[in-house]
Structure 1
Amino acid sequence: MLRNLQIKQKFTVLLLFVLLVGISISGLALSFVLRQNAQLEVENTALILMETMSSIRNYTSTQINPELQEQLVTNFLPQSVPAYSAREVFENLRSKGEYKDFFYKEATLNPTNLRDKADTFEAKIVERFKDQGKTELSGFRSLPGGDIFYIARPLAVTEESCLVCHSTVDVAPKSMIQRYGTAHGFGWKLNEIIGAQIISVPADRVIQKANKSSVVIIGIVSIIFVTVIVLVNVFLNRQVILPLKRITRVAEEVSTGHMEVDFDQVSNDEIGNLARAFKRMKLSLEMAMKRLKNSGGTNRNTAE
C-alpha cells in the first residue's frame, strides 16, 4: 500500500502513527503520574485537616475541659469532649465548598458515643497501629456507595484528663453516665492506642482530578504534534516535493528534445545536488548529440 503513496503522504502516515503511539504511551504514563500527584495532593490536604483536628482536641482537653470539671459533675457537656469538638469543627469546615467531599471520623474500638464506633475495616486499621507500630496508613476502600480514599493516624490517650471520664465507671462524671450509660467508653489506659483518626474522600475526586489533568495535557500535546505535522508537510512540500516536481518536468522536456530548458539549482542540499547532476547529464547529452551530428556530417562529405 505504501508503494502507491506519494512521499508527502508517506511522511504524513508515519507522523500520524508516531502521534498515536506517542499519545497512547504518554497517556498511560501521564495517567499514572497525575493520579499519584492527585493522590498526594489529597493526602497533603487531609494531613493538614488532621493536624488541625488534633490541635482542637488538644485545646479542648487542656484548656476547656479543666474549666468545666465542676460543672460536669451535675451537667455533662459534650462540648468538653475533644472528639466531639473536633467532629463539630470539621462539620462546620465541610460547609465550605473546598472541603465538602472530605469526611472525618475518630474510629474508636470502645467509644463512649457509639457514633464513633469503629466498623470492621476501621478496627483492622486500629489493630495494625497497635501491632505493627505504624504511624500512618492510607489507601482505597470499597463501600456500597463507591470507593473512597482514606488516610489514618493512630489515636492514643496522651492526656491524663481523658482518664477522668474513661478509666473506670466509679470516677466518671455521673452526668456523663446518665447520658451514655456504663456499657462503653471505659477501661482506657494512658498512652494506649484506642482508635484512629480517619479522613476520607470519594475516590472519584482523586481519579477525576487526574483524568481532567490528563485530558488537558494530552490535548495540548496533540495540538502541538498536529501543528508539527502540518509544518513538516509544508516544509516537505516547499523544500522537497516542489523541487522534485520541477526536476521531473524539466527531465521530461529534455527527454523529448527540448534542450532549451535548464535544471535550476535552488539549494545546496541533496535536491540541489540532484539538480546539478541532471544539469551535467543534460550538458553531456548535448555534447554527445553535437558529436553525433558532426560525425554524421563528416561521413556524408567523405561519401561524396
Structure 2
Amino acid sequence: MLKKLNLRQKFTILLIGILVVGLSLSGLVLSALLRQNATNEIASKALTLIDTMTSVREYTITQITPELSDELDTKFMPQTVAAYSAREVFENLRKRPDYRDFFYKEAAINPTNLRDKADSFETKILERFRKEKNLNQVNGFRSLPGGDIFYIARPLSISQESCLQCHSTPDAAPKTMIDRFGAVSGFGWHLNEIVAAQIVSLPASKVIEKAQQSSLMIVGLVSTIFIAVIFLVNVFLNRQVIIPLKRITRVAEEVSTGHLDVDFDQISNDEIGNLAKAFKRMKLSLEMAMKRIRRSQGGNTGGTAGH
C-alpha cells in the first residue's frame, strides 16, 4: 500500500502515526500527573478551609463563649459552642459556587452532638492521629454508597481549659446543655487530648473532572501544535524536496529522449543539489559520448566514400 503513495503522503502518515502513539503513551503519564496535581490543588484549598474553621473555633472560644457564659444557666446557646460556630460558618460558605461541593465534619468518637459521631472509617483516622503524635494530616479517597469521595483530615485537640467546662464531667457542664444533649456523650475529655478529626471532603468526581479538563486542554494544545508542525513539514518537504525532485525527473526524462539542450539546475548544496550535480555530470558525459559516436560515424562514412 505504501508503495503506491507519494513521498509527501508517506511523511504525513509517519508524522500522524508518531502523534497518535505519542499522545497515547504520554496520555497515561499525563493523566496520572494531572490527577495528582488536581488532588494537591484541592487538598490545599481544603486545608485553607480547615484553617479557617479553626480560626472560627478560636474566636468563639476566646470571645463569644466568655461573653455569653452567664446566659447558659437559663438558656442554652449553641453559638457558644465552637463546633457549632464552625459548622454554621462552613454551611454559609457552601452557599458560594466555589465551595458548594465541599463538606465539613468534626468527627469524634465521643461527641456531645451525635451529628458529629465518627463512623468506622473516621474512627480509624482519629485513632491513627492519637497513636502517631507527629502526624498532622491525612488525605485520600474512600468509597461510599453514593460514590467515592476525596477527604483530608487534621487532628483536633483540647487546647484551652475553658473547653473542659462543658466536656469534663456532667456535673461541671451547664444544666441547659445537659437538658438538650443529655449526660451520656461528650464528657471525660482532657486537656491536650485529641478528641476529634476535622475532615473536609468532596466528591472524587470533582478531582477527576478537574484533571480531565486540564488533560483535554493540554492534549488539545499539543495536538494543535503537532498539526501545525505536520503542515509546516509538508510545506518544507514540498518546496525543498518534492518540487526539486520533480524538476530533476522532468529534465532526466527529456534527456533520455534525446533533448540535450535542457540542463539540471543546482539550486542548493544539500543532497538534492548533489543529485542535480550528478545528473548534470551524467548529461555532460552523455553529450561527450554522443559526439564521439558522431565523429566515429563521420570518419567511417568518409573512408567508405574514398574507396
Query: TM-score per shorter chain, which class?
Result: over 0.9
Query: Which secondary structure does the structure 2 equivalent of 1:169 belong to?
Result: coil
Query: Which secondary structure does the structure 2 equivalent of 1:195 belong to?
Result: strand
Query: Which secondary structure does the structure 2 equivalent of 1:158 belong to?
Result: coil
Distance (whole Å) between structure 2 residues aligned to residue 212 and residue 69 of structure 1 = 51
Structural mapping, 1:3-42, within 5 Å? 3-42=3-42
What's the CA shift string for 1:131-188, capped at 9, x where partnerless?
A: 1222100000111111111000001111111111111111111111011111111111
Distance (whole Å) between structure 2 residues aligned to residue 59 and residue 293 of structure 1 = 113
Which residue number corresponds to residue 249 of structure 1?
250
Per the normalisation by structure 1, the TM-score is 0.97
Which residue number corresponds to residue 72 of structure 2?
72
CA-CA distance at 1:4 after TM superposition: 3.1
Query: Which secondary structure does the structure 2 equivalent of 1:8 belong to?
Result: helix
Distance (whole Å) between structure 1 residues aligned to residue 192 and residue 26 of structure 2 = 49
The farther-off stretch of 25-34 and 144-153 is 25-34
Which residue number corresponds to residue 47 of structure 1?
47
The farther-off stretch of 257-266 and 210-219 is 257-266
Gaps of 5+ in 2: none
Which residue number corresponds to residue 90 of structure 2?
90
Distance (whole Å) between structure 2 residues aligned to residue 271 and residue 200 of structure 1 = 65
Distance (whole Å) between structure 2 residues aligned to residue 76 and residue 266 of structure 1 = 96
CA-CA distance at 1:241 after TM superposition: 0.8
Distance (whole Å) between structure 2 residues aligned to residue 56 and residue 300 of structure 1 = 119
Gaps of 5+ in 1: none
CA-CA distance at 1:2 after TM superposition: 2.8
What's the CA shift string for 1:19-51, capped at 9, x where partnerless?
A: 111111222222122111111111111111111
CA-CA distance at 1:302 after TM superposition: 2.3
Letter in 2 for 1:21: V
Distance (whole Å) between structure 1 residues aligned to residue 231 and residue 66 of structure 2 = 75
Which residue number corresponds to residue 112 of structure 1?
112
CA-CA distance at 1:201 after TM superposition: 1.1
CA-CA distance at 1:73 after TM superposition: 1.7
Letter in 1 for 2:223: S
Which residue number corresponds to residue 230 of structure 2?
229
Which residue number corresponds to residue 191 of structure 1?
192
Distance (whole Å) between structure 1 residues aligned to residue 266 and residue 173 of structure 2 = 102
Distance (whole Å) between structure 2 residues aligned to residue 113 and residue 256 of structure 1 = 102
The farther-off stretch of 236-245 and 61-70 is 61-70
Distance (whole Å) between structure 1 residues aligned to residue 70 and residue 259 of structure 2 = 118
CA-CA distance at 1:5 after TM superposition: 2.6
Letter in 2 for 1:42: I
Identity %: 66
CA-CA distance at 1:213 after TM superposition: 0.9
Letter in 1 for 2:85: S
Letter in 2 for 1:43: A
Structural mapping, 1:76-225, within 5 Å? 76-133=76-133, 134-225=135-226
Distance (whole Å) between structure 2 residues aligned to residue 98 and residue 25 of structure 1 = 34
Distance (whole Å) between structure 1 residues aligned to residue 109 and residue 155 of structure 2 = 12
Distance (whole Å) between structure 2 residues aligned to residue 67 and residue 275 of structure 1 = 98
Distance (whole Å) between structure 2 residues aligned to residue 93 and residue 301 of structure 1 = 114
Letter in 1 for 2:26: S
Which residue number corresponds to residue 270 of structure 2?
269
Query: Which secondary structure does the structure 2 equivalent of 1:76 belong to?
Result: coil
Letter in 1 for 2:246: K
The farther-off stretch of 265-274 and 179-188 is 265-274
CA-CA distance at 1:3 after TM superposition: 3.1
Per the normalisation by structure 2, the TM-score is 0.96
Distance (whole Å) between structure 1 residues aligned to residue 112 and residue 234 of structure 2 = 74
Question: How many equivalent residue pairs?
Answer: 304
Distance (whole Å) between structure 1 residues aligned to residue 59 and residue 301 of structure 2 = 124
Distance (whole Å) between structure 1 residues aligned to residue 63 and residue 256 of structure 2 = 104
Q: What stretches of structure 1 move > 3 A for 4+ residues in a row? A: none
CA-CA distance at 1:95 after TM superposition: 0.7
Distance (whole Å) between structure 1 residues aligned to residue 267 and residue 160 of structure 2 = 88
Matched, 1:57 2:51: no
Distance (whole Å) between structure 2 residues aligned to residue 183 and residue 218 of structure 1 = 58
